[in-house]
A and B are shown apart, each in its own frame.
Chain A
């Protein structure tokens, strides 16, 4: 049971972050949208996006300050696979207008049909991909 407490509490903090951004600033806490819009030409609303991202990067440091250790990050993918994955995640989240946060945390919470479709689709694609990499004919 304790194995589920940290994920549940961490998830609740993520949900609180999304609720805060909505109720204070009226915005969706979607990471790919916040980041991707900064890469665009429009200078509109850059400041709060930068402030959010600075906070996001400071979060793990705060975690280390509170617990005395960094969160675990185990990366198994070789470098070419990391590059391919990054390109797909960057392009795909912009084309699909959201990622795990915008469609998952925020979209499901506000019962958006687009987000339900997106979450079901990217979960299925990720599960199939992991299956093929780990259990597919290549192995």
Chain B
């Protein structure tokens, strides 16, 4: 693993965390307001996904013009296109958890920086859930999104 690649990964994470902080996604109160379509619905977080997908799509469009990534030998993007039960059951479980606390993985990890015990507790439980998956249901090789 070379230094430019590590620096690019760090830079991507930093941009991601900065974007999360600016967007409002790190605030579970706001996330739950977005998900509460039957209450005082706060649609603003839809703009986070819209902005993110639009810019990300530019990146994926540029990918088509590149034989390989700038710093790596090849693109490692999932090729699986079949919607199966594991995908859907996993998405349902994730959605229930997201709706209970208002945290998804990125904002929860970024939120650790603020030093709140509730965030640390959620992240510890999330890591436990990932380990539970690894020891009960994991099949190799892991299938990406």
A interface list, Cβ under 8 A from B = 3-4, 6-33, 35-37, 39-40, 45, 47-49, 51-64, 66, 70-77, 79, 81-110, 112-115, 117-119, 121-131, 133-135
Contact = CB atoms under 8 A, between A and B. Distances in A.
Given A11-B23, A51-B13, 14 more contacts: A7-B44, A19-B55, A22-B77, A27-B76, A57-B112, A85-B101, A91-B129, A94-B133, A102-B144, A108-B53, A113-B81, A113-B83, A126-B99, A134-B38
Interface string B58-84: 111011001011111111111011110
B93 A96 contact: yes
Given A92-B93, A95-B93, A129-B100, A114 B83 contact: yes
B129 A87 contact: yes
A123 B76 CA distance: 27
Nearest to B63: A22
Contacts of A75: 28-29, 101-102, 116, 118-119
Given A56-B16, A85-B122, A86-B124, A97 B144 contact: yes
Chief secondary structure at chain B's binding surface: helix
B104 A89 contact: yes
Contacts of B1: 45, 47-48
Contact of B13 (A22, A28, A59, A119): A59
A118 B87 CA distance: 7
Contacts of B57: 15, 108-110
A15 B27 CA distance: 19
5 nearest A-B residue pairs (beta carbon):
A59-B17, A96-B90, A90-B129, A19-B59, A10-B23
A56 B107 CA distance: 9
B53 A126 contact: no
A1 B14 CA distance: 27
